[in-house]
A and B are shown apart, each in its own frame.
Chain A
Amino acid sequence: MNDLVNETTLVELSTLAALPLEPGKSKATLDALNEVLALVGQMQSLDVANVRPLAHPLERHQSLRADSVTETINPSALSQNAPLYEASLYFVPKVIE
C-alpha cells in the first residue's frame, strides 16, 4: 500500500497542528502516521454490514448526578496556560464572522 502521508504533508500537518517536529524524527513520525493510516484502511475493508454499531464498549448505562453546584472556580489558576488573558477574558486573534 502506498504511503498516504509524505514529507510535504507531514510538514504541513506539523504547521497546522502547531506541533514542531523534532529534528531527525521526521522519518519515524512519517512511518508511525502511515502505519496508523494503514490500520484504518485495513479496518475499512472489513464487512460490517450486519454488525450493530457499538455505542460504547461498556455495556452499562450512565449514572446521573443531582443538580447542585459543586465546583469552586479559581479563574486565575485556570487561566495560567492561556496565551493572553486580561480583564478576566481569554483573548484570541480577532474572529471574523
Chain B
Amino acid sequence: MSIPAGWQIDIGLEIHAQLNTRSKIFSGASTLFGQPPNSQACAIDLGMPGVLPSVNAEVFKKAVQFGLSIGARINQESRFDRKNYFYPDLPKGYQITQMDHPIVLGGEITIQTSDATDKIIRITRAHLEEDAGKSVHDFKPGHTGIDLNRAGTPLLEIVSEPDIKNAAEAVAYAKAIHQLLTYLEVCDGNMAEGSLRFDANISVRRQDAETLGTRSEIKNLNSFRFLEQAIHFETERQISVLEAGGTLIQDTRLFDPDRHETRSMRSKETATDYRYFPEPDLLPVLLTAEFIEEIQAQLPELPGTRAQRYQTMHELSASDAVLLSQDRRLGDYFDEVLTFSGNAKSAANWVRGDLLSKLNEHELGIAACPISPKHLGEMIQLIDQGVISGKIAKEVFAALWSKQTESAGDYVEKNQLEQVSDASAIEPLIDALIAENPKQAADLRAGKDKLLGFFVGKVMQATQGKANPKQVNDLIRQKLSKA
C-alpha cells in the first residue's frame, strides 16, 4: 500500500521480547514453554499473600548485552515499579516493571529501506518487566480459563522513537531487532510461541503538519505479516476519518486479521491511570562497572561488523557477507570452515550453496549440521590442492553428510578418488577423442569454443570425474593448436 498523497505516517514500536532464562524474573519457577497449564506457576507468580520477589541476575546480563549492542546507555542503578491494573491473567493486580529508571536508555538500530539506503531508528529505552498469564477462551461456556505458566517470564520491552514512516520500515525494524536478539542468544525469537510480540503506536498527519497526530496503539501483534497488515489497515482508517472531517481519539486497538480491521478495545490509558509507584518489595538494583565491562568484553562480533569483515578482509560479495553473518551460529561455522580451508570464496560457496540447501531440505539448523566445519574445510582444501575435482567433491560432501566418513581425505584415499593430474594419463584419452570426432575437432579449431565443453565432458566421463577439468581444458587447446 502506498501512502495517500498529502499524508505522512509516524510509527513507534514497543517490542516485548521474552528473555530465554531458565527461571522466571522474580521466582525460581521454570520458564519452559508448552507445559501443562499452571504447572509452572509458583506461589510468587500467583501473587499469594506473604510472598516476596527475588531478582534473577541473568535478566540483567541479557538486557545489558542488548543495550551495549545498540550503543545505548546502561543505567548502573535501575529500579522496579508497580504498574497497577486489573485483569484476570495478572493475579497480583499489578505488574512489576521499570517506569522511571529503566536498565537501557537510548541506542539505535540501522535498517535498510525499500530503496536500499540505510536508515537509523532511534530507541528510546528498554526496560525489564514480568509477563502476564494467558487467557483461554471457549473452553467453558460463560467463563475464561487462566493459565499462569507464563506469568513472571522475563520480558525486555524495547521502545522505539516514532522514526518509522511506513509498514515496510516497521517490518524491517522488527526483523532487525529479532535478528539482534537471537544473534545475541538472549531471546529464542520463536514468534509462534509468543517469544516476541509487537505493539504499534500509529498516527497520521498532513504532509506539512509539524506535530504528531493522535495515535492509536495496536496491541499484541505476533507476526511480521500481522504487523504490516495492521499498519496498513490502521493508517487507512485514520486517514479516512480525518478526510471525512472527523476527529480521532487516542485509543488501544486490537487487530483482527480475519476481518482485516482494527477494533477499539478501550480509550488509551495514560501513566496516571496505572498509578505507578516504586516497588516496595524490591530495592534498587546496582550493577557494577566491572559487571558491565565484563559483558562488553564478552559481546560477540555483531552482524554488521561481521558482514563488513567478510567483505573487506575476505572479499566476499555483499549478499554472501550478509547471509553468512545474519545468524551467529552460521557465521561461527563459516569462520571455522574458513580457518581450515583458507579459501573464503570457496568456503562461502559451499556453506551458502550445498550446505544450506541440505540443511533446509532436512529442516535442520546449523547447530544440528552433521558435517563439522573442520571436515568441510579439509574437503575444500583437497579441492584447492588439486587432489579432488569439484565433481568428486560433491560425492565427498554427500559422504560426509551421510556420515559414511568423518574425514574427506580418508574417503578420497579409500575410494581412490584422487584427481588424475598426470598429463601422460590424460593425453592419450584426448588424442583418441580427437581422432574419433574429427568434425567437432575441426570446428573447435575454427573457433567454435562451445565444443570445448564437449571434449572436456568426454574426458571427465572417461576418468569418472577424476581428471582436473582445468588441466583437461589446457591440454585440449594445446593439442588442437599443435595439430
Seen from chain A, the residues whose Cβ lies within 8 Å of a Cβ on chain B are 53, 55-56, 58, 60-71, 73, 75, 78-79, 84, 86-95, 97
Contact = CB atoms under 8 A, between A and B. Distances in A.
Given A65-B55, A67-B21, A78-B41, A86 B285 contact: no
Interface in B152-178: none
A73 B282 contact: no
Interface residues of B, number: 50
A27 B36 CA distance: 49
A71 B42 contact: yes
B284 interface: yes
A73 B40 contact: yes
Interface-central residue, B27, B55, B145, by most chain A CB under 10 Å: B145
A70 B23 contact: yes
Given A66-B57, A69-B29, A97-B254, A92 B144 contact: yes
A26 B27 CA distance: 40
Contacts of A70: 23, 28
A61 B283 contact: yes
Contacts of A62: 55, 282-286
B58 to A, nearest CB: 4
Nearest to A96: B144
A90 B145 contact: yes
A12 B437 CA distance: 105
Contacts of B40: 73
B283 A68 contact: no
A93 B144 contact: yes
Contacts of A89: 37-38, 136, 139, 145-147
B195 to A, nearest CB: 17
B63 to A, nearest CB: 12
B284 A68 contact: no
Nearest to B142: A94
Nearest to B87: A95
A69 B55 contact: no
Contacts of B438: none
B30 interface: yes
Contacts of B23: 67-71
Contacts of A91: 140, 143-146
Interface of B: 21-23, 27-30, 36-44, 46, 48, 54-60, 77, 79, 87-88, 135-137, 139-140, 142-148, 254, 265, 278, 280, 282-286
A86 B283 contact: no
Given A75-B39, A78-B46, A65 B57 contact: yes
Given A56-B284, A58-B283, A93-B142, A64 B56 contact: yes
B30 A88 contact: no
7 contacts: A73-B41, A73-B42, A78-B43, A88-B37, A89-B37, A90-B145, A95-B144
Nearest to A93: B143
Contacts of A56: 278, 280, 282-284
Contacts of A64: 55-57, 60, 285
Contact of B146 (A60, A69, A78, A92): A92
A89 to B, nearest CB: 4
Nearest to B61: A67
B144 A65 contact: no
Contacts of B136: 89
Contact of B283 (A60, A79, A93): A60
A45 B54 CA distance: 36
Contact of A67 (B41, B44, B57): B57
A68 B60 contact: no
Given A69-B29, A87-B139, 17 more contacts: A55-B284, A56-B278, A56-B282, A62-B282, A62-B284, A63-B55, A67-B21, A67-B22, A69-B28, A71-B42, A75-B39, A78-B38, A79-B38, A87-B37, A87-B145, A95-B135, A97-B265
Nearest to B265: A97
Nearest to A86: B140
Interface-central residue, A63, A64, A65, by most chain B CB under 10 Å: A64
Contacts of A65: 28, 54-57
A93 B21 CA distance: 33
A93 to B, nearest CB: 7
Contacts of B280: 56
Contact of B143 (A69, A79, A94, A97): A94
A89 B23 CA distance: 21
A67 B283 contact: no
A56 to B, nearest CB: 5
Nearest to B19: A67
Contacts of A73: 29, 39-42
Nearest to B291: A64
A78 B137 CA distance: 22
Contacts of A61: 77, 283-286
A64 B103 CA distance: 15
Contacts of A63: 55
A95 B39 CA distance: 23
A68 B137 CA distance: 32
Contacts of B60: 64
Nearest to A59: B283
A94 B41 CA distance: 22
A5 B54 CA distance: 38
